[in-house]
Each structure stands twice: as structure tokens, then as C-alpha cells.
Amino acid sequence: MDVQIEDSWKRRLQPEFDKAYFKTLTDFVREEYRTGTVYPPGKLIFNAFNLCPFDRVKVVIIGQDPYHGPGQAHGLCFSVNDGVAFPPSLQNIFKEIKADMGTEMPASGNLTRWARQGVLLLNATLTVRAHQAGSHQGHGWETFTDAAIRLLAEEREHLVFILWGTYAQRKGAFIDRNRHLVLASAHPSPLSAYNGFFGNRHFSRTNEYLTAHGETPIQW
């Protein structure tokens, strides 16, 4: 496993790497990759951090698990590799962007273009066993990603945290709403998108907030 994390994140997260839970997590993840098929590929586990250094983060979108089908996951929540069919939640995200911003649905579901603009696309759990949703939950990743979110919430100002669904909302419950913009709604999943995701206007509201605080808006 060729696993590396970008330097600005590595420095800040070093206390987590040194904790006992992370050693246990590392042993578990290495064994999972050794004995079966796990997504994303090992070198992409920290892709969200590597594409979006700490001081360049403007927006945080919190997901839950990587996609667990072949060729989908590449370390960014909700994103799939070029040429891969859009999962239903991603389709609904693009539908809301079109309704909100007028932007046509893109040809690719690869959201690297967002990450490079400062959108941290962070799953709570960074790995998953093939075809087994949630299979790596409860092994320590959540503690690690909580630490990353807390660092941003406490060391930065005027970020936008986008929390879709109850899971993400619980994970971001501690964020200071006076210091950051927190946007919460139903999840874009087909099971819940019509219960408050569609029409949330999170993309235009994000850009309005960024612009008001002197930041370049995101090209969604």
C-alpha cells in the first residue's frame, strides 16, 4: 500500500497518527487490502486531503462511505472516476446544481475539479470492502475524520460546511455556526432527495457566502 498524505495535513494530523486507535486502524486496513478487494485503491485513500491542502479549503462536503462497486471510488465523496456511470445520489446533485445555478449536467462524475478549487470531499470512513457498504465503519476512521473536521472548524474561519443527511449533520454538530456557514438538508439519495435536498440551493448559497468573504466562488 503506497499511502501518503499531503504535508499541510500530515503536520496537523500527526497527533492522530501517533494514537493507539490509528495503529489498530492501520493494521486492520492493511489486512483487509491484503486478503480481499477494498476500495478505493490504497494510494487514493487520502485523495481528498492530497487534492485540497489545509489552507486552501473553502468548502467541506461530508459523505459517509466510499462507493463499493468496481472502478467507482477514488477517495472523494460522491465522486466517481471518468467514464463511470453516475450513482443516483450524484445524479441528484447535478440536477440540483442545474436547477440552482443553471449549469448543465457534466459529462463526467469526477469531482476532482471541485477539489482543486478548495472543496474537501471527505467521507467519514475512508475505505470499504468490495460490495459491502459500511464494512469498515467503527474501526477508527470516524475518529480520524472528526479530527480533520475539528481542525478546520477551529483553525479556519468563514468556511462552508455542507451536511446532507442525518449522518453528516451529527458529524458536524459541533461546528460553530457563528464562525462558519453550515448548510444542512436531506441527503441526495433517491430515498430522501424529495424531502428537502431538491431546492436547498446549497451551491448558490455557498458561492454567495464565499463572495461575501472575499473568496472566489466555486465553479460547480
Crossing angle between the packed helical segments 141-155 and 7-17, to the nearest 10 degrees:
120
Which of these, 167, 117, 141, 115, lies nearest to 38 by C-alpha position? 141
Marked catalytic residue, from 7, 18, 65, 146? 65
CA 105 – CA 192 distance, rounded (Å): 21
Residue pair 106/121 in contact (Cβ under 8 Å)? The answer is no
Amino acid type, 172: G
CA 209 – CA 180 distance, rounded (Å): 10
Residues near 193 by beta carbon (within 8 Å), at least 6 away in sequence: 89, 92, 186, 187
Residues near 178 by beta carbon (within 8 Å), at least 6 away in sequence: none
Q: Is 65 a catalytic residue?
A: yes
The DSSP bridge pattern shows strands 119-123 and 59-63 to be parallel
Supply the residues annotated as catalytic: 65
